[in-house]
Amino acid sequence: MKKILYFFILLFVQLMNAQDNGSITGRISDENGSSLPGASVQIDELKKSTSTDYEGKFLMTNIPVGNYTLTVTFVGYGSSIQTVKVESGKSTTVEISLKSSVNELDEITVSANKKAQKITDVPATINIIKAKDIEQFSSFNLGELAARQKGVDFVRAGVLGTGINIRGFNSAFNSKNLQMTDDRISTLVATGLPLGTMETVIKDDTERVEILLGPNGTLYGPNAHNGLVNSITKSPFKHQGTTLALGGGTQNVFTTRLRHAQAVSDKFAYKFHFERSQGTEFKYTDTVYVGNTGYKELELDRDFDTQKYGAGLHYKVADNSELIGYYGHSNNNNIGVTSAGRNQIKDWTIDVAQLKYVSPRVFLNTYYTWSKTDDTYAMNQRTQNYVSFKNAGFSEEESLRRSYYEQWFAPAGIALKRGAVFKDASNRFNAEGQYNNNWKNFFLTAGVQYQLDMADSKGTYLLDDGGIDIAQTGVYSQFEYKLPESGWNFLAALRVDNHDFYGSNVLPKAAITKKFDKGTFRLTYGKGMAVPSILNMKANMFGGLVLGNAEGFTLSDGSKVARLDVESIHSYEVGYKGQLAKSLFIDANAYYNQSDKFISPLINIATGGRTVTHVGNKPIGDVVPGSNGAYVLTYSNFGKVDTYGFDLGFNYYFNDAFRAALNYSYFGRDLDKNDLGNDGDKNGVVTETDLPINTPTHKMSLGLHYNKGKFYGAIYGRYVQKYDFFSGINIAAKTQDLNGDGVNDVVENAKNGRTWNYGQLGGFTIDANAGYNFTERLSLGVSATNLLNAEIREFVASPAIKTLVNVEMKYTIDFFQKK
């Protein structure tokens, strides 16, 4: 009887309490009335939040009576803040419309702290390529939009090849910028190079790309050394419909792409995508020298193509938590530029499978990556092999067949192993768990990451008999203390990584931001590191001509080259993002970096008549049978190098339809030529080529954007000051005397070492794009690269970039209905 009485008393109390509470319900849409699924809705005073369903609706119950501040945010749109009144036993209904972000200070970003926040709250310099920019750019190659961002060194290696570098020291094998896609590391397993066009997602499924400048590896991993490029795809809850794109252009470019996404219910949604793109590279041959005689690259195939497909399943476990599965595949044929000559990439496939759980408090993520090719080969080495057999009198058929694996050594009358083929059967496994919480003004993020690289070249380009497995485990925590009344925010973070080969490394980070009425000032410190890739450590290419440096080397004069170590960078940055006038916005930063144990590009350590006698404790002939160590390209650490610079970005809005953007960047460095730790080739003299900057001192761009009614367009002028580029055997530089002995070591428009030097990179180009929306469903766009056909080369061992024109028609069926 007492239990029954207690039950009714408890029920009565709960009913009374429910009468004292109320609820808030509503719908979030854009300025056109279309629903915004996944918009974040928060009651600031209660720190209670939810997100909208696929119809843009939300419901928050059990809210105590009172007046509250309701904040609504959605990536790519300005935030909305309004006061709502909750009454006892009643439901308060709100209708909120968000406008596309015109005010630079309202922009929402998700990369810096792995959560949505205003860009002014981010203690870092960040560039955002928005959804509208992506949709209005008429090319399948999304990388081209990076050319319009401040602080980014954009390079084009041809029709297909594009790449970026951040804050100095680029190379033909640049792995110091971490590339992420939907919380996946998008790099090749053995080399650490960004996937780039090998990525499995397509442009039409990409919602935005966020580029963070400087070390930002605390939450993402140890190798966000110079910067982070984070691509975020579209949720099938937020972006439903079917999009078909057909495009074509100069250089025989043709692309067809399809994306379909649908929310079956408010709990379940799916998407899938497909792409087939192809074209022909510019006519260019990277001359191969045998002695002093130059030859064209053997069986050069300038045609390229890529095929991609993928699918995602999204299940809402609760209103603000989601379970996501994804599988993607790409197959690629193209030409790749390396520091040891160009590669003919043949049917290189990438597969990824991912499962992750996302909620306000817990983030769980695991994924697996497969990389496979059997027929990719180095054109430089294969050409040399072929010539050696032809000069020895072998038949055309036999010379071609043996050119893949052997080189004829005429003095001894024997064939040496000089394999030109790259096979790859490498895999990678990643897992991560993260916890987020906050207590009033104190915010905590903590997590653990695990990565297992399983490299396997089948003995073709790595010292990997039986494969190479290397694991890394990282633990991180980040603390933020926010004082919204005064505008001060404080951040402290720490990451510890343990590497199977290099042990433990610690990465601290600290930041202070101060909000003012018209902007935010920031002061940050961060440490980054670049762990040598498996290729850096275990390379074995072309019969020992290129060797990794995991063990160190001994030269014939007894001198030593130490084994490769982890590179670190300490970065100090001050910045301001704000509004200078009613329609003028500025984003400025200045930075100073201190690099230690800088990892060099490929350099020849067998100089001055010396040879390499030992790899570690083993004679070089035991490691690479037949090698005499007379010419060895490898990687080495330098001493301390300081770099510095600043970036300025201005945006001026003439009106809602017309905007101008001006960007300028400066980069400099201090190289101590008296520090023999900076003597890369160990010849006793420090020269500029020992530590090549490979970065322009000055670069600038001016862009004009127009969007009104059915028409849109943009035009960008980009100036890159002429600069020298040295990477392995590749040289693009002016005539100069490097060591001051009165003899020019580098000669422009002439053979230099094992390659031809066409001179410095850089110059001035104009890019443009425009389009017309015939209806809400049908649009036609055109883009032009190097509109005026300026004579300009942007990357070493690459052709001069001619005018590229792409035309694209897009048809979309939108499942969303305006309400």
Which residue in this structure is represented by tokens 């809705």? Answer: 41
Residue 143 lies in a domain: yes
Tell me the H-state helices in 154-280: none
pLDDT number for residue 111: 56
The per-residue pLDDT for 819 is 38
Local structure of residue 535 (DSSP, 8 states):
H
Chunked mean pLDDT (size 10), the chain, 819 residues: 52 51 87 73 82 78 88 76 86 84 60 61 80 88 87 90 85 82 93 91 93 78 80 91 95 97 93 97 92 93 97 92 96 93 96 95 96 96 96 96 93 90 96 92 93 95 90 94 90 93 92 90 91 91 89 90 90 93 91 88 82 91 86 85 93 90 93 74 71 90 93 96 91 88 90 91 95 92 95 92 95 63
Query: Are residue 326 and residue 426 in the same domain, yes or no?
Result: yes
pLDDT at 817: 44
Quick check: is 254 in a domain? Answer: yes
Q: pLDDT at position 698, please? A: 96
Task: Find the CATH number of the domain harbouring 508.
Answer: 2.40.170.20
Together in a domain, 67 and 134: no
Q: What is the CA radius of gyration of the chain?
A: 28
In a domain? residue 609: no
Quick one: pLDDT at residue 13? 46
**Given phi > 0 = left and psi -120 to 50 = alpha, else beta, which region is 219?**
alpha
Match 């915004």 to its residue by tokens.
36
Instruction: Please tell me the predicted confidence (pLDDT) of residue 503.
Output: 92
Are residue 366 and residue 455 in the same domain, yes or no?
A: yes
Q: Check whether residue 355 and residue 499 sit in a common domain.
A: yes
534 phi, psi to nearest 5 deg: -60, -35
If asked whether residues 94 and 113 sit together in one domain, one would say no
What pLDDT is attached to residue 818? 41
Evaluate the CA torsion angle 157, 163, 164, 170 in order and state its sign: negative
Question: Given this model, what pLDDT does residue 440 score?
Answer: 86
Per-residue pLDDT, 609: 84
The counts of H helices and E strands in the chain are 6, 54
Location of structure tokens 């930075």: 591
Residues 361 and 385 in one domain: yes
* Residues 464 and 482 occupy one common structural domain: yes
Residue 56 inside a domain? The answer is: yes
CATH code assigned at 43? 2.60.40.10
Tell me the whole-structure pTM to 2 decimals: 0.87
336, 305 Cβ separation under 8 angstroms: no
In the listed set 76, 100, 124, which residue is the last one of a domain according to the structure? 100
Last residue of a domain, one of 75, 100, 125: 100
Residues 82 and 137 in one domain: no
Asked, for residue 172, whether it belongs to a domain, the answer is: yes
Q: Could you tell me if residue 721 is inside a domain?
A: no
Same domain for 317 and 255: yes
Question: Does residue 553 lie in a domain region?
Answer: no
**Per-residue confidence (pLDDT) for residue 62, from 0 to 100:** 85
Secondary structure, 3-state, 263-303: ECCCCEEEEEEEEEEEEECCCCCCCEEECCEEECCCCCCCE
Q: Measure Cα distances from 541 to 195, 300, 405, 406 in Å.
A: 21, 20, 11, 12
The reply to whether 63 and 154 lie within a common domain is: no
Q: Are residues 145 and 79 in the same domain?
A: no
Where is the domain boundary, 100, 124, 152? 100
- Using CA atoms in the order 51, 443, 126, 322, what is the torsion angle rounded to 10 degrees? -30
Structural domain boundaries enclosing 54 = 2-100
> Does residue 283 share a domain with residue 161?
yes
Domain count, the chain: 2
Q: For residue 39, tell me if it sits in a domain.
A: yes
